[in-house]
Structure 1
Amino acid sequence: MSRRLHSESPPPRSAKRAKMEKLTLESFKNGVVLAPMVRSGALPSRLFALKHGASLVWAPETIDKAILHSERVVDPVTGVVSYNGKSRAIWTTHPVEKPYLIYQIGSADPDLAVQAAKTVMQDVSGFDLNCGCPKPFSTHGGMGAALLTNPDLLCSILTALREAMPPEITVTAKIRLLPSQEDTLKLVERIINTGVSALTVHCRTRNMRDRDRAMIERLKEIVEFVKGMGKDIAVIENGDCLGAEDAKRVREATGAHSVMIARAAECNPSCFSNTPLTDIHETLVPAYLRLSKYLDNNWSLTKFCLSQFKSSHTKPNGKADEKRVRESIVKSRSFDEVVDIAGGWTGEEDFEEIVRAIEAREGKSHAGAEPSTADAEVVGAPEQTAASTTTPSTSTNQSSLCRAVEAKSGNKYITPPGTQNPHPPASGAPLIADVQRTLPALISGKDPLTPTPLVMPVL
């Protein structure tokens, strides 16, 4: 891995920049936020999400032990903060996103969770405990969705984090629905009583997958339940939201304070704007490449993120051109081979444009009711012009998802009382397996377990 020389602290930024206030309970309300996504939630994607109106961004889950044995280094040119393992960067961030950044921890041990949080606390504004991911890398050793079957451990981790962190750093949790709605409410009550600042509910059960419609109708009861507890805690909906405009439908159906977007953002990080970009092989991909190279983002990780991008088209040959660009990127083995697509390496200008868009929000509420305000007022240039030439700018796959949601729900979000949440056997992941956790790198001589593969796939 080739990285620049590093210094111990980032270069000083302009004195003109206003200092951002800390996150509060209100920061999690009236917003549209980026979900924690392994690989897809890379630093460039988070920065573009913020540029286009995401009120907060969640970093990808990082296993507690993985970050404990990393080395924090700062790039003296860009200010990028990298937590490096023996062979690669485990996690990267930049000070410009810190006021909006929630770091998600994968853990099944209160002490390790606290140690992991203390390791990165200087670079984040809040911590989120992953209690919902059903994938084996997360359920390993009782983490992720496995915590849903061990509420004592789940709540002990949240309590430990809240007690160990200073008050200005928030602690939140992300869960899934349990098969029984009654059990879900019992778990929610326990979580809220640990002192969390917000709760995100992925409206699927552990064994449900993306192809299964999210049961957003179940969230309304949870929102009302939390309100009935007398707690001023935000409940954030996750599942089947297509973008900033669609978030209005979701909030109306669920009563959620905010909406979290995953798949739609994976396809198009500008979905947080009321006018998301179209023809993104021209309006976003070149800028994403330039920014990724400037920030020294891992090439394989960059290529993976770009391979997920999709959008609607406004030009006759748009679909064919997008396919051509995607295939060219997939075949490339380094940034040097995509210079024609990137249009030259002027990533610093793209970064400064993002910084201006983010700084324009400072002094305002974190959770703006109109997520597209920042990029509409500040960025306005070629990207927004491209987006404004079309009416519905929802991508093809998002439109398919929307039709599927409507077909399955009949546009009605009602579940008869007493109905259990579907819990089909699918993942086969252990509930709370007694698995010996990996040894620290200093002992084993190997990188600790982390959701992202140690050897990035060449796509």
Structure 2
Amino acid sequence: MVRSGAVPTRLFRFENMVLLWYGVQKLSTKQFCTLKRVVDPVTGVVSYNGKSRAIWTTHPIEKPYLIYQIGSADPELAVQAAKTVMQDVSGFDLNCGCPKPFSTHAGMGAALLTNPDLLCSILTALRQAVPPELTVTAKIRLLPSQEDTLKLVERIVNTGISALTVHCRTRNMRERDRATIERLREIVDFVKAMGKDIAVIENGDCLGAEDANRVRQATGAHSVMIARAAESNPSCFSSTPLSDIHETLVPAYIRLSKYLDNNWSLTKFCLSQFKSPHTKPNGKAEERRVRESIVKSRSFEDVVDVAGGWTGEEDFREIVRAIEARDAKVHEELEQEEEATMADVLSRISSQRSDNAYITPPGTQNPHPPSSGAPLIADIQRTLPALISGQDPMTPTHTPSINPLPMPVL
């Protein structure tokens, strides 16, 4: 998701039920280590700047859901890059699946699949270097041989990762080739048999919520990663994705991008990727008009008629409210699940205990914590952005005093 994973795009996806976002960067780890971190005192946007522009940006509100994907062929440089951004993300994913020459020519991406010693040394170095509350994961592709794939999976899992994403295509396969998701079931069962408490995530030929349910049932995967479909429609994660996107998303996207000072060229690129079905009689003609206006534009001011005014701050607040409401729902569901689990446990204990008292068998050990040591998303303490709270505890950078905005009542 190079380029298309801009901050405004990520925020709209978080609003539409995405649980985790894997941020991809084309920049090498060596270059990334030289960037300067700057925080906008008004919007809270965190920028990692090169000599002339921001190379990567993020916002504190997305930190609990943001995984930074690293492309590296050097354990030391991978660790340096991770330490550079670790205050702004929740984990790191090693990209072992990108087949593009800009990755493979330097030994990164899919090239790591044929160099398992280097691959595992990078994961081990990351796991040892970053705090336990930050996850370390890996994303791979299938090897031509299922036996070789399982051998590689075993080595990767034993490095201490928290999750493994499997793109169900080989290195030489492309988007036009059907993903062989049927090969994932054996991988899921294999990891489970290893006794490792990690998630296996499917990637490939999944276009939305309905596909995700189908893939999970077919493979036993814990979750599903969606990439290209999310470029076309950031709401594809929802059970009711947006249609007529030139009316329902594009204006708000432009307003939010301007408010967050997103680069216009990058904004324009992301807008060019958006596509959706039409539900109105003149939908296709209206979409063409909007696209032509965007194509001809050279700045935000050239598309004010499409944006409908500059109310990006209100759009941002709306996204904050949606994320907060979603988190409240997640907390409620987790509490209900915990209550149901506890009731089941108490029922079993009650049926097994003696008439006198509950007795702990001699020699009983405390259960081991999850191997990742990372908290559930819902348990992460969110720090609100400076725009809302008037404070910026995410960074030692001094934030000028601003009047905090009233928090929405959910």
Q: Which residue of 2 aligns with 1:390?
A: none
Q: How many Å separate the matches in 1 of 2:330 and 2:124?
A: 27
Q: Which residue of 2 aligns with 1:53?
A: 17
Q: Which residue of 2 aligns with 1:194?
A: 159
Q: How many Å separate the matches in 1 of 2:92 and 2:329?
A: 22
Instruction: Provide, for residues 179-212 of structure 1, a one-character-per-residue CA deviation record: whole Å limited to 9, x for no partner.
Output: 1111111110000000000000111111111111
Q: How many Å separate the matches in 1 of 2:31 and 2:283?
A: 42
Could you state the TM-score of these two structures normalised by the residue count of structure 2? Answer: 0.79
Q: How many Å separate the matches in 2 of 1:169 and 1:140?
A: 29
Q: Which residue of 2 aligns with 1:176?
A: 141
Report the 3-state secondary structure (helix = DSSP H, G, I; strand = E; otherwise coil) of the residue aligned with 2:68.
strand
Q: Which residue of 1 aligns with 2:38?
A: 73
The Cα of 1:269 is off from its aligned counterpart by: 0.1
Q: Which residue of 1 aligns with 2:299?
A: 334
Q: How many Å separate the matches in 1 of 2:219 and 2:232?
A: 24
1:187-336 matches, within 5 Å, as 187-336=152-301
Q: Which residue of 2 aligns with 1:418?
A: none
Instruction: Provide, for residues 206-239 of structure 1, a one-character-per-residue CA deviation record: whole Å limited to 9, x for no partner.
Output: 1111111111111111101101111111000011
- Matched to 1:49, the amino acid is R
Q: Which residue of 1 aligns with 2:407?
A: none
Instruction: Provide, for residues 390-409 of structure 1, a one-character-per-residue CA deviation record: whole Å limited to 9, x for no partner.
Output: xxxxxxxxxxxxxxxxxxxx
CA contact (8 A) 1:42 1:60 kept: no
Report the 3-state secondary structure (helix = DSSP H, G, I; strand = E; otherwise coil) of the residue aligned with 1:256.
coil
The 4+ residue runs of structure 1 with deviation greater than 4 A are 363-366
Q: Which residue of 2 aligns with 1:21?
A: none
Q: Which residue of 2 aligns with 1:121?
A: 86
The Cα of 1:363 is off from its aligned counterpart by: 5.5
Could you state the TM-score of these two structures normalised by the residue count of structure 1? Answer: 0.71
- Matched to 1:67, the amino acid is F
Q: Which residue of 1 aligns with 2:393?
A: none
- Select which of 117, 130, 139 maps to 1:165: 130
Q: Which residue of 2 aligns with 1:99?
A: 64
Q: Which residue of 2 aligns with 1:346?
A: 311
Q: Which residue of 2 aligns with 1:44?
A: 8
Q: Which residue of 1 aligns with 2:98?
A: 133
Report the 3-state secondary structure (helix = DSSP H, G, I; strand = E; otherwise coil) of the residue aligned with 2:57.
strand
CA contact (8 A) 1:66 1:90 kept: no
Instruction: Provide, for residues 288-322 of structure 1, a one-character-per-residue CA deviation record: whole Å limited to 9, x for no partner.
Output: 10111111111111111110110011101111211
The Cα of 1:362 is off from its aligned counterpart by: 3.2
Report the 3-state secondary structure (helix = DSSP H, G, I; strand = E; otherwise coil) of the residue aligned with 1:130.
strand
- Matched to 1:38, the amino acid is V
The Cα of 1:326 is off from its aligned counterpart by: 1.2
Q: How many Å separate the matches in 1 of 2:140 and 2:6?
A: 22
1:281-430 matches, within 5 Å, as 281-362=246-327, 365=330
The Cα of 1:140 is off from its aligned counterpart by: 2.9
Q: Which residue of 2 aligns with 1:152?
A: 117
Instruction: Provide, for residues 92-111 of structure 1, a one-character-per-residue CA deviation record: whole Å limited to 9, x for no partner.
Output: 00000000000011100000
Residue identity (%): 84
Q: How many Å separate the matches in 2 of 1:187 and 1:125?
A: 25
Q: How many Å separate the matches in 2 of 1:208 and 1:139?
A: 15
The Cα of 1:170 is off from its aligned counterpart by: 0.3
Report the 3-state secondary structure (helix = DSSP H, G, I; strand = E; otherwise coil) of the residue aligned with 2:243.
coil
The Cα of 1:365 is off from its aligned counterpart by: 4.5
Q: How many Å separate the matches in 2 of 1:66 and 1:365?
A: 38
Report the 3-state secondary structure (helix = DSSP H, G, I; strand = E; otherwise coil) of the residue aligned with 1:141.
coil
- Number of residue pairs matched by the alignment: 333
- Matched to 2:127, the amino acid is R
Report the 3-state secondary structure (helix = DSSP H, G, I; strand = E; otherwise coil) of the residue aligned with 2:137.
strand
Instruction: Provide, for residues 399-445 of structure 1, a one-character-per-residue CA deviation record: whole Å limited to 9, x for no partner.
Output: xxxxxxxxxxxxxxxxxxxxxxxxxxxxxxxxxxxxxxxxxxxxxxx
Q: How many Å separate the matches in 1 of 2:190 and 2:330?
A: 26
Report the 3-state secondary structure (helix = DSSP H, G, I; strand = E; otherwise coil) of the residue aligned with 2:258.
helix
The Cα of 1:358 is off from its aligned counterpart by: 1.2
- Select which of 105, 112, 119 maps to 2:77: 112
| Structure 1 unaligned residues grouped into runs of 5+ | 1-36, 370-459
Q: How many Å separate the matches in 2 of 1:357 and 1:171?
A: 28
- Matched to 1:120, the amino acid is V
Q: How many Å separate the matches in 1 of 2:43 and 2:77?
A: 31
The Cα of 1:333 is off from its aligned counterpart by: 0.8
Report the 3-state secondary structure (helix = DSSP H, G, I; strand = E; otherwise coil) of the residue aligned with 1:316.
coil
In terms of Rg, which structure is larger?
Answer: 2
CA contact (8 A) 1:161 1:171 kept: yes
Q: Is the deviation greater in 95-104 or in 246-255? A: 246-255
Q: How many Å separate the matches in 2 of 1:132 and 1:364?
A: 34
The Cα of 1:66 is off from its aligned counterpart by: 2.3
